């Protein structure tokens, strides 16, 4: 049992070089698709490694790629003093498991957890026996200070932006202001050199990730990206971004920006510098809103000439009511216009379409019709999921409507709120949608699994169905319906509001 004292118990010589192991967990088996569809390099861990490798020995272990190495063998061979685990919501059960196994191997090892889920629900990692600290939000500088404190055996209470077990429960330190991205050390990409040729998106391989900006000024109520930076829009210097691209060997570059075309001036300068540097021989992939495309048609055309090959566009829906409910601040007209423009320019469209749990048979038929008329080659359908940190999650959590707290089900492919259709009919309609061929092959592969695996998967599926039936019955007894899904306190963000925040940033 770890003591309530927030000082470190690793027992190192003060000032000694430490061994720091950073882990990306393997995919949660409850997740549908997941690592089979895309695996990007662990850019967040690369930044953490870059921040501490000048003083310590650092290793990154990507268990998504290396499925042969066993955790215990790695711990025995490397003998880390600190282990960092990153977690999106579906990774939480794996983090629990890994942290227990790490402590079983050596209870003096300091275990720290970070990532998206830790930002919004640090209390989910209040496990004093197995987790020593939690880094909250953009964690590069918090992590660097944490390592310094562990090295010197100092209390953790003066590190902003972390949580740790205290005598009376979890202690949350003062929040840390959002950082200047240009102050970050460069990512330690060489630590995953063995896997660089294998990182991929479903349409691009190999692919490298570059972070030009973080955050988004829009306020879609189902999205957890803008809350991660507390609504701020953070940018890097264009010259540093171009230098980073020039140093990469991969032919495909994924801009991890939450929305690429927020700032027209900035993206115009970036494409100019890319052209000047002769980097228009790469294939670029970015997230873009359809209204951003329509406001910047000439700029999109220039990017297409400079190598924009793939655009992930969150159309979400082709029904105005849905877009309004999602607080999308966008229109169906923009969706259609963006599709036709990208198709004319030869830019592949990774079309994101959200399926609401309260869809009827008629709604599913409309979705199929829209996809057919739009001639979308690679549509991706996801089930509307109230992710932690979003206004949608907060509302449904308060109203006790969620059907599951198994975080492995928060993968955008499981319904975690009651469906209007009987749950079996909802899933039947969902899997009949024209999913792109890659996902269809995954669904077909499920049928080729050994009988024991299929039975185990069926049991998990039936548990989801039972949870839905129970919640529907509970709501019916209370005289409630599944129609009231969306927060009323929407915050519309039009182009003017977006532009003002860009100028402020």
pLDDT, tens digit, 9 for 90 and up, residues 456-466: 555 555 555 66
Q: What is the pLDDT of residues 113-146, one digit of tens each?
A: 999 999 999 999 999 999 999 999 999 999 999 9
pLDDT tier for residue 176 given thresholds of 50, 70 and 90:
very high
The pLDDT, as a whole number, for residue 388 is 97
Cβ–Cβ under 8 Å, residues 88 and 61: no
pTM of structure: 0.88
Torsion of the alpha carbons at 123, 124, 125 and 128, rounded to the nearest 10: 70
pLDDT at 9 over 50: no
CA distance 434 to 427: 13
Return the minimum-mean-pLDDT range out of 45-49, 108-112, 323-327, 419-423: 419-423
Q: What is the pLDDT of residues 67-91, one digit of tens each?
A: 899 999 999 999 999 999 999 999 9
Positions of E strands within 48-161? 57-62, 82-86, 110-114, 133-135
pLDDT at 58 over 70: yes
Cβ–Cβ under 8 Å, residues 160 and 174: yes
Span 285-292, average pLDDT = 98
Give pairs for 494-502: CB < 8 Å, separation 24+: 494/329, 495/291, 495/295, 497/217, 498/217, 498/218, 498/262, 501/217, 501/233, 502/217, 502/233, 502/262, 502/263, 502/266
CA distances from 159 to 84, 148, 163 (A): 17, 10, 9
Residue limits of CATH 3.40.50.280 in the chain: 19-172
The answer to whether domain 19-172 has CATH 3.40.50.280 is: yes
Return the minimum-mean-pLDDT range out of 55-69, 243-257, 379-393, 409-423: 409-423
- Burial code (b: 16+ CB inside 10 Å, e: under 16) for 86-97 equals bbbbbbbbbbbe
Average pLDDT of the chain is 88
Please provide the DSSP assignment of 146-162 as one string.
HHHHHHHT--STT-TTE
pLDDT at 490 over 50: no
DSSP 3-state helix, strand, coil percentages of the chain (rounded to 5)? Answer: 45, 15, 40
pLDDT cut 70: percent of the chain above it:
83
178 φ, ψ to 5°?
-60, 140
Q: What is the pLDDT of residues 330-370, one digit of tens each?
A: 999 999 999 999 999 999 999 999 999 999 999 999 999 99
CA distance 118 to 388: 10
**51 burial via Cβ count (<10 Å: 0-12, 13-18, 19+):** buried
pLDDT tier for residue 377 given thresholds of 50, 70 and 90:
confident
The number of beta carbons lying within 10 Å of the beta carbon of residue 386 is 23
The pLDDT, as a whole number, for residue 255 is 98
Is cis: bond before 206, omega within 30 of 0? Answer: yes
Residue limits of CATH 3.80.30.20 in the chain: 200-504
Spatial CB neighbours of 241, under 8 Å, sequence gap ≥ 6? 210, 212, 270
Q: What is the CATH number of domain 200-504?
A: 3.80.30.20
Return the minimum-mean-pLDDT range out of 134-143, 225-234, 438-447, 463-472: 438-447
pLDDT tier for residue 27 given thresholds of 50, 70 and 90:
confident
Q: What is the SS3 assignment for 469?
A: helix
Q: Where are the alpha helices (DSSP H) in 134-237?
A: 140-152, 225-228
Span 359-388, average pLDDT = 94
Cβ–Cβ under 8 Å, residues 99 and 127: yes
Cβ–Cβ under 8 Å, residues 25 and 166: no
């Amino acid at each position: 049992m770890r003591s309530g004292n927030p000082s470190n118990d690793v027992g190192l010589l003060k000032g000694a070089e430490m061994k720091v192991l950073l882990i990306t967990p393997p995919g949660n088996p409850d997740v549908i698709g997941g690592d089979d569809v895309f695996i990007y390099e662990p850019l967040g861990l690369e930044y953490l490694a870059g921040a501490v490798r000048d003083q310590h020995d650092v290793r990154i272990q990507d268990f998504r790629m290396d499925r042969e190495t066993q955790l215990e063998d790695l711990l025995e061979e490397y003998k880390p003093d600190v282990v960092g685990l990153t977690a999106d919501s579906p990774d939480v059960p794996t983090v629990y498991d890994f942290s227990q196994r790490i402590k079983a191997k050596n209870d003096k090892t300091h275990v720290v957890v970070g990532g998206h889920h830790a930002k919004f629900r640090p209390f989910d990692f209040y496990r004093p026996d197995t987790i020593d600290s939690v880094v909250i939000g953009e964690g590069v500088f918090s992590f660097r200070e944490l390592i310094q404190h562990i090295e010197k055996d100092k209390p953790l209470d003066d590190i902003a932006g972390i949580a740790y077990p205290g005598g009376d429960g979890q202690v949350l330190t003062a929040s840390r202001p959002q950082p200047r991205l240009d102050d970050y050390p460069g990512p330690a990409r060489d630590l995953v050199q063995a896997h660089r040729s294998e990182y991929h998106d479903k349409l691009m391989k190999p692919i490298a990730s570059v972070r030009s900006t973080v955050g988004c000024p829009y306020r879609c109520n189902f999205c957890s990206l803008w809350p991660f930076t507390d609504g701020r829009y953070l940018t890097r210097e264009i010259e540093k971004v171009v230098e980073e691209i020039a140093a990469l060997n991969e032919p495909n570059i994924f801009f991890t920006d939450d929305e690429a075309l927020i700032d027209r001036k900035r993206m115009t300068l970036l494409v100019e510098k890319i052209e000047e540097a002769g980097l228009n021989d790469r294939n670029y992939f970015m997230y873009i809103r359809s209204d951003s495309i329509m406001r910047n048609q000439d700029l999109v055309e220039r990017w297409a000439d400079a190598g924009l090959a793939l655009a992930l566009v969150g159309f979400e829906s082709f029904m105005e009511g849905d877009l309004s409910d999602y607080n999308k601040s966008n229109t169906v007209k923009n969706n259609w216009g963006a599709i036709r423009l990208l198709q004319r320019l030869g830019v592949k469209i990774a079309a994101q379409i959200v399926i609401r749990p309260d869809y009827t048979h008629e709604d599913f038929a409309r979705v199929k019709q829209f996809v057919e008329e739009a001639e979308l080659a690679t549509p991706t359908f996801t089930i509307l999921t109230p992710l932690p940190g979003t206004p949608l999650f907060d509302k449904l959590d308060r109203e006790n409507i969620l059907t599951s707290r198994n975080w492995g089900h928060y993968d955008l492919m499981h319904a975690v709120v009651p469906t209007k259709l009987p749950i079996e009919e909802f899933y039947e309609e969902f899997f009949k949608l024209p999913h792109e061929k890659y996902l269809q092959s995954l669904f077909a592969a499920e049928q080729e699994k050994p009988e024991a695996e299929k039975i185990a998967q069926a049991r998990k599926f039936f548990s989801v169905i039972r949870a839905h039936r129970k919640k529907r019955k509970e709501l019916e007894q209370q005289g409630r319906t599944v129609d009231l899904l969306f927060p009323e306190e929407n915050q519309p963000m039009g182009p003017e509001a977006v532009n003002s925040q860009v100028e402020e940033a």
